[in-house]
Amino acid sequence: MNSNERRLDPDALLKIIDDDDRATSKGKLRLFLGMSAGVGKTFAMLKAAHQKKNEGADIVIGVVETHGRVETAALVTGLEVIPRKKLHYRKTEIEEMDLDAILQRKPQVVVVDELAHTNGPGSRHPKRYQDVLELLDAGIDVYTALNIQHFESRKESVEAITGISIRESVPDSLLEKTHLVELVDIAPSELLKRLKEGKVYLGEKAEAATQNFFKEDKLTALREIALRMTAERVDQDLQKFSVTRDESPWQTNERLLVAVSHSPYSEKIIRATRRLAYNLEAPWIAVHVDTGITLNEEDQAQLIKNLNLARELNAEVITTADADLASALKRICRQKNVTQVVVGRPSRRWFRNVIEGGSLLDRLVKESLEVDIHVIRQDKPEQATASFADEVSLYRTQSGWMKYYYSFWYLIFVSLLGALFEPLIGYRAVGFIFLLAVIIAGLSGSMGAVLFTATLSAVVWNFGFIPPRFTFVISQPDDVILCISYFVVAIITGFLTNRIRVHENLIREREEKTNVLNLVLQDISNSQNKTEFIKKVTERVSDILKGRAIVILKSKEGALQFDRIDLVQFDLDEKEQAVAIWSFQNQKPAGWSTDTLGQARSLYIPLQGVSEIVGVFLFRPEKKLKKLSIDQQNLLNSITTQLGISIERHFLSRRLAESQRLKDSEMLHQTLLNSISHEMRTPLTAILGSVSALESHSAKSQEIAGIAESLADAGERLNRVIENLLDMSRLNSGVLGLKLEWHDLSDLIGVVLKKLEKNVGEQKMSSFIAEDIGLIEIDFRLFEHALSNIVLNSIQYAGPRSNIVIKAELKNQKVLISVIDNGVGVPEEFVPLLFDKFFRVPGTPAGGTGLGLSIVQGIVELHKGRIWYEPNTPQGSKFMIELPYKNPPVLPQERH
């Protein structure tokens, strides 16, 4: 092999194979892309659909917009059209693509026009492209059409070219999911000609388009964007293909990071980062750092929108808390091995730069990070200088102007306090009292309140205390320096105090979140079973988020078990159940506070284990809030992740136990079959031999008695095997009941000895019964059977000349029955297994099913007693039975 040839990258090959495997289970997306409306995308798409149908494919139309074009409408003929679904909203009827009907019909291919379309209220998804993604997940191929301006990463460029706001967009990740991109291209002059001929828009709409969007220079620019984006997609395909060839490109280790805030300018920075990452074929991370500034509802909504945009563009989204933004970004860069950071161009806010040590860009450069920094310009650059109100607004919190109100009254109180002590301490020392108001503002208010208090306190101190009083004139130069110094110190002190408070709040919030997660883990680990820890976790979530939470688990068949919850209590009608099923099947959150089926009353989160979905977590807020905050979403995601893993672990344990039981059952079945075949073969052989001797009439009269005895022994042996099997079956099924009656223990032992005397050869059997034992309450038949099994076990295994003693005595209100022999005993390592089903000590003579002692244990436990084994001294075995003792009833005396 030539040393210059490159070896194939096995990791890259494995990735291609994995991607191909995933692709085979999902539908394929064919995108017809154009620079603008009127280029013929729908026409080309319908022609391709007819060609596919002629090839024998099952293809239907989900939705097609002909816009009154005759040629396009003619191509709809001959293709099956799925009727649209009618939605009613504010007394208006809206028609939308019927997603459920398509999924139920399940064709091979479906045609879906206008991919960027926004669905009407009441639809499952807010956007049509989300419907297409669900169709692809269901294994249905999709033909769709889209204009270049609707891609998120190209939206701003098109807006800058055309001057028109683009309201509908789709994430660039759809382009990566596309199996085939077909560019429908036409020269701008030809498109303008089609527009004049009425083949694009009709009437006044065509005239308006000519005046605005449809100009040759603009169309040329749009065409260039479409061609470039298509070329980038083709280049990606070629690079993936080249991995399997000799000329494999070098793999890059680039990783990008973008900082995301609640600013609307973050959208542009996110899209720019996406373009960079796409061209570099590198992963990228979107980071939001909570610096302690409380956001109002509008800012919260914008932040959620920005983070959702990053997710749609395939970013890894991270949220963290840190009062120092630059320090947080530095930490994440090191943790994630980031090589490039993307930030927006810093605005010129002199005051913030002074108190914070410069802009974010300046501080990132000072951190000496080993990363490249990209600076993205903003569409609307701010003024070179910002007003004081703008500076203060950076630190305004959700509480609004109430902080300024409280700061004003703090200052009034401190001014009165200064006036009271000024004759004693002098006007200069009063400045320290005013500094107290600034510190209080820093501890309880925002940075804006600190600036307000520092400025106003300096003015009041000058006006009311520094000579000449009640004027803004300062006569002494040293007082001027003092006043200026006070103002600077007050601002710095207030800023540092406020910073300490922010740090404290962040640490407290972090501790609260950690504490909640620790409590959830404790709930899971300290619970006895799955039902208990699910109840504890749902109660904790309900208390923290102020609502109601439940878990809907899946059954063995893989469906959600709605019958296990109170549907009336949680008001889960068919619509809510349908949302839960959708979330479970599609493995995505749905319902309230999401963009999928957002009209639902509850939030449904799939519980994802390590390898499977185990159920759905339902949360319904007490009050109809708009959406969960970022922190609440992160907390709930962390809790549901832990819950899903714990439930899956329980499921796996249960399956493992069931598998073990099945394995044990199969082993018992085989052992039982072997034992029965052995135990029955010997007596059956004896019976058949005896019967054969009797039938041959060759037996002498003196031998007939022996044959009869042999038949009786064989029959008894068979009967014992059958009784043991029946008793074991009844014990396992729980149907073996007791018929308790009062009996004399000596009668029971006598019956056992009489029954087994013919099984004794040279062995000796005896009994000893204490005189203080009267009647005991037992099931005579079952207990006689149990005691017979123990004695028979000693007869069989103790040895030919052993002594067997049955001893009964009363100890501590317990009846203790012992079966003692002086035989060979049981090796210590086999003692724990003596009472297991089908166990026989290795090396013992063949015979028996190994069920005897197990049956004895079951019968004794039915009598609320216990049985155990002890070695006899100096040798032999001792089986001990302990039964509860009750005083027998007093019999009534007979009258004479």
Tell me the HSE value of 243 on the side-chain side, using a 13 A CA sphere.
Answer: 16
Beta bridge partners of 92: 89
- Give the separation between CA 285 and CA 244, rounded to whole angstroms: 29
User: Count of domains in the chain?
Assistant: 5
Q: Is the bond preceding residue 889 a cis peptide, omega within 30 degrees?
A: no
Check whether residue 381 and residue 407 sit in a common domain. Answer: no
Check whether residue 371 and residue 442 sit in a common domain. Answer: no
Check whether residue 139 and residue 17 sit in a common domain. Answer: yes
Q: Is residue 375 part of a domain?
A: yes
* Amino acid, res. 831: V
pLDDT of residue 807: 93
Q: Is residue 676 part of a domain?
A: no
pLDDT of residue 724: 61
Cross-sheet strand order for the sheet of 613-621: 547-553, 613-621, 603-608, 590-591
Q: What is the CATH number of the domain that holds 852?
A: 3.30.565.10
Of 181, 170, 172, 185, residue with least CA distance to 219: 185
* Amino acid, res. 95: E
pLDDT of residue 383: 40
Contact 303, 262 (CB under 8 A): yes
Contact 776, 742 (CB under 8 A): yes
Q: Are strands 590-591 and 877-884 parallel, antiparallel or unpaired?
A: unpaired
Helix (H, G, I), strand (E, B) or coil at 181: strand
Backbone angles phi, psi at 182, to 5 degrees: -115, 110
Task: Indicate the length of the chain as a whole number.
Answer: 896
- Give the separation between CA 148 and CA 140, rounded to whole angstroms: 24
Q: What is the CATH number of the domain that holds 203?
A: 3.40.50.300
Check whether residue 499 and residue 563 sit in a common domain. Answer: no
Domain termination site, one of 617, 639, 659: 659
Q: Is residue 511 part of a domain?
A: no
pLDDT of residue 398: 39
Check whether residue 314 and residue 431 sit in a common domain. Answer: no
Domain termination site, one of 637, 659, 681: 659
Q: Is residue 514 part of a domain?
A: no
Which helix H or strand E contains 267, and what residues bound it?
helix 266-280
- Give the separation between CA 147 and CA 158, rounded to whole angstroms: 11
Check whether residue 435 and residue 536 sit in a common domain. Answer: no
Check whether residue 267 and residue 220 sit in a common domain. Answer: no
- Give the separation between CA 44 and CA 111, rounded to whole angstroms: 12
Q: Is residue 706 part of a domain?
A: no
Q: Is residue 695 part of a domain?
A: no
pLDDT of residue 399: 45
Q: Is residue 510 part of a domain?
A: no
**147: burial class by Cβ within 10 Å (0-12, 13-18, 19+)?**
buried
Check whether residue 532 and residue 576 sit in a common domain. Answer: yes
Backbone angles phi, psi at 706, to 5 degrees: -65, -40
**890: burial class by Cβ within 10 Å (0-12, 13-18, 19+)?**
exposed
Low-confidence residues of the chain, pLDDT below 50?
1-8, 243-251, 381-399, 895-896
Check whether residue 497 and residue 561 sit in a common domain. Answer: no
Q: Is residue 679 part of a domain?
A: no
Which helix H or strand E contains 590, and what residues bound it?
strand 590-591
Check whether residue 77 and residue 187 sit in a common domain. Answer: yes
Interaxial angle between packed helices 530-545 and 477-526, expressed in degrees from 0 to 180 and rounded to the nearest 10: 160
| Sequence-ordered strand ranges (E) for 242-295 | 256-259, 284-290
> DSSP alpha helices (H): ranges in 65-170?
70-76, 99-105, 128-137, 152-162
Within 10 Å of residue 275's Cβ, how many Cβ atoms?
A: 17
The residue range of the domain holding 274 is: 256-385
Of 142, 140, 170, 135, residue with least CA distance to 154: 170
* Amino acid, res. 771: E
- Give the separation between CA 816 and CA 881, rounded to whole angstroms: 6
- Give the separation between CA 637 and CA 882, rounded to whole angstroms: 55
Within 10 Å of residue 885's Cβ, how many Cβ atoms?
A: 17
- Give the separation between CA 845 and CA 799, rounded to whole angstroms: 11
Check whether residue 159 and residue 43 sit in a common domain. Answer: yes
Check whether residue 326 and residue 466 sit in a common domain. Answer: no
Q: What is the CATH number of the domain that holds 341?
A: 3.40.50.620
Backbone angles phi, psi at 615, to 5 degrees: 165, -165
Please, what's the b/e burial string for 201-215 (b: 16 or more CB within 10 A of its CB; e: otherwise)?
Answer: beeeebeebeeebbb
Residue by residue, DSSP assigns 48-66 as HHHHHHHTT--EEEEE---
pLDDT of residue 327: 84
Residue by residue, DSSP assigns 645-700 as HHHHHHHHHHHHHHHHHHHHHHHHHHHHHHHHHHHHHHHHHHHHHHHHHHHTT-S-
**Percent helix, percent strand, percent coil in the chain, to nearest 5:** 55, 15, 30
Domain termination site, one of 332, 357, 385: 385
Of 859, 847, 852, residue with least CA distance to 725: 852
- Give the separation between CA 594 and CA 126, rounded to whole angstroms: 10
Q: Is 317 left (phi over 0), alpha (psi -120 to 50) or beta?
A: beta
Q: For residue 13, give both structure tokens.
A: 């090959």
Q: For residue 451, give both structure tokens.
A: 């600036």
